[in-house]
Amino acid sequence: VLECLHYLHTPSQQNTNSQSISNGNGNGSTAASASTSASAGGNLGKKIVIHRDLKCDNIFMSTSGKGIKIGDLGLATTDGKSVMGTPEFMAPEMYESGYSTTVDIYAFGLCLLEMVTGKTPYIECTTVIQIYKNVLAGILPENTRVLEHGWPEAYRFLLRCLLPTNLYIAHQANLRSGS
């Protein structure tokens, strides 16, 4: 999965929408890539793809269990300027214009949280507005406690996935307070 995320956020040398990459076992995984023509002269400019809707429902394992595919690229973008995605997996910066691929790393951390706990992040919230408020306030989903107390290594990994977003929240809070 990490290899797919790295590939997803690495500019492609190909001009295709789907690339096969090896997971080390000879099995291919699919990840998005995009490139566009940078000039009429045919020079290729490389664009990084932001999936924007990474969640467990969009991660597929091969029947052998040795490969994965990241699917549903319908919301993928290269500019990070619009608010789209599944609220439970959306990073705070997605609610404003100008986000980057860190939103996919944030979502990946929440996917791992769901895989380990069996519960969707922010399941305690009953409305999208509650999720939005919790995310912008930097409040982690309740099921992170399972990791914090029962699997500290996984909890630290989750925090590393969320760290760029948490730094963003702290920065925004400082801007609002005038610090």
Cβ proximity of 8 and 31 under 8 Å? yes
Specify whether 57 is catalytic.
no
Amino acid at 134: N
Tokens of 24: 């080390």
Cβ proximity of 31 and 21 under 8 Å? yes
Give residues with Cβ within 8 angstroms of 32, minimum separation 6.
8, 17, 18, 19, 49, 51, 70, 73, 76
Q: Single out the catalytic residue among 53, 72, 79, 104.
A: 72
* b/e code 117-140 from CB counts within 10 Å (16+ = b): beebbbeebeeeeebbebbeeeeb
Residues with active-site annotation: 72
